[in-house]
């Protein structure tokens, strides 16, 4: 029995040793994977967002405009198709098809055989069928042949996209100039008021407008510095952006200069609230507005280099200060008792008196 118990004990100890030896490896691999995700995800998500934005602009703006322009060009071309041979045409019949020659242009039957299209249009589209992709279906009508011919000849993609980007940028510039002053601003305000008065739609529109205003608009509120104040209670410090000197009556009532501080919320700093605090109760931080926003968005994970605890330096000096280790009183007592116990074990026992 004793042999079996000792063998089982050795087996359990070997298992625990294996588990303890493998845990650092698994922890290290997990840490490496997380670090790899931290490196890969930011550029990957940036590319995904940019692709999504371009696809949205292409599907809802570029393609409708492109289709309208192509339709106008096709409509303006004379003698596009004929349902039968017109007067003055010369019948041109072969073993495979029946066509005619009209004003020096040869016309052949379309895909349905009910209308005739110019032979050069059909040949050009058929020869460049790969331009529209391997899985793109062939044109089913004579009008579809003309649309593809116009796209190949007058509106190739390598020309349309740069022109569209330039025109779109110019239009955005003039719209921005128009809607920021005078009648344009009044029109935008009226449109916003009308949309926000529609139930259900106002919830979506209001949220989207908040995000776009924060991301793209030039804010009237300019943050001149970043401060830390004790909020929501004493002992809890929060970051804020100074937006002004608050109200005169509050300063007169307190007898001290006041500050208006915008308190952003994590992880979406475009929302927040405004508080008024005494200037003496606010601590100016060595942070830029962008660094403070990164700190708020990351929920305190991203800390600027000059504000990290391990690189904290005293004002006017270049020496690094290592913050003292803060331990509760019980932990200090435990360490003191442990030191006394170790000292008792190392000291030799007193010799008995004769």
Number of H-type helices and E-type strands within the chain? 10, 9
In whole angstroms, give the CA distance from residue 192 to residue 187: 9
Closest C-alpha to 129, from 112, 155, 107, 151: 151
Q: What does the block give as tokens for 89?
A: 């045409």
Q: What is the 3-state secondary structure (H, E, C) of 287-319?
A: CCHHHHHHHHHCCCCCCCHHHCHHHCECCCCCC
Tokens coding 9: 């004990």
pLDDT tens-place values along the chain, 354 residues long: 555 556 666 656 655 555 555 555 556 788 888 888 888 888 888 899 899 999 999 999 999 999 999 999 999 988 788 888 888 888 876 645 688 888 888 899 888 888 899 999 999 999 998 888 878 888 999 899 999 999 999 999 899 999 999 999 999 888 888 887 777 788 888 888 888 888 888 888 887 887 777 666 655 555 668 999 998 888 899 999 998 888 889 988 989 999 999 898 887 777 788 899 999 999 999 988 888 888 988 888 888 888 888 655 555 554 544 444 444 444 455 556 656 655 555 555 555 554
- Could you identify the residue written with the tokens 């000096």? 317
Identify the pLDDT of residue 64. 94
Write the DSSP string, 89-130.
Answer: -EEEE-SS-EEEEETTEEEEE-SSSSSEEEHHHHHHHHHTGG
DSSP state letters, 202-220: HHHHHHHHHHHHHHHS--S
pTM of the model: 0.54
Q: Which stretch of DSSP H or E encloses residue 40?
A: helix 2-57
The DSSP secondary-structure symbol of 320 reads B
Instruction: Please tell me the total number of residues recorded for the chain in this structure.
Output: 354
């Amino acid at each position: 029995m004793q042999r079996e118990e000792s063998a089982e004990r050795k087996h359990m100890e070997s298992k625990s040793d294996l588990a303890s030896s493998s845990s650092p490896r698994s922890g290290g691999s997990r840490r490496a994977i997380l670090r790899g995700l931290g490196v890969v995800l930011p550029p990957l998500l940036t590319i995904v967002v940019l692709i999504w934005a371009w696809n949205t602009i292409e599907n809802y703006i570029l393609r409708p405009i492109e289709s309208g322009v192509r339709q106008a060009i096709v409509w303006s071309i004379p003698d596009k198709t004929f349902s039968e041979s017109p007067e003055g045409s010369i019948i041109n019949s072969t073993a495979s098809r029946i066509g005619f020659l009209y004003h020096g242009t040869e016309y052949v039957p379309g895909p349905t055989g009910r209308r005739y299209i110019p032979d050069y249009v059909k040949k050009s589209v058929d020869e460049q069928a790969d331009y529209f992709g391997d899985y793109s279906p062939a044109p089913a009508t004579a009008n579809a042949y003309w649309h593809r011919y116009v796209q190949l000849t007058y509106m190739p993609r390598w020309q349309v996209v740069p022109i569209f980007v330039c025109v779109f940028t110019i239009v955005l510039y003039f719209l921005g100039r128009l809607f920021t002053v005078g009648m344009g601003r009044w029109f935008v305000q009226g449109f916003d008021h009308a949309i926000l008065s529609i139930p259900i739609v106002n919830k979506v529109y209001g949220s989207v407008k908040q995000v776009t205003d924060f991301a793209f608009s030039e804010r009237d509120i300019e943050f001149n510095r970043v401060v830390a104040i004790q909020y929501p209670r004493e002992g809890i410090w929060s970051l804020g952006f100074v937006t002004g000197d608050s109200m005169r009556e509050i300063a007169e009532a307190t007898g001290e200069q006041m500050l208006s501080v915008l308190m952003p919320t994590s992880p979406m700093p475009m929302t927040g609230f405004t508080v008024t605090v005494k200037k003496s109760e606010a601590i100016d931080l060595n942070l830029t507005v962008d660094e403070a926003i990164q700190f708020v968005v990351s929920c305190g994970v991203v800390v600027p280099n000059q504000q990290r605890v391990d690189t904290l330096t005293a004002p006017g000096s270049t020496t690094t200060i290592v913050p003292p280790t803060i331990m509760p009183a019980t932990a200090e007592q435990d360490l003191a008792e442990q030191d006394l116990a170790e000292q008792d074990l190392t000291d030799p026992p007193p010799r008995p008196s004769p």
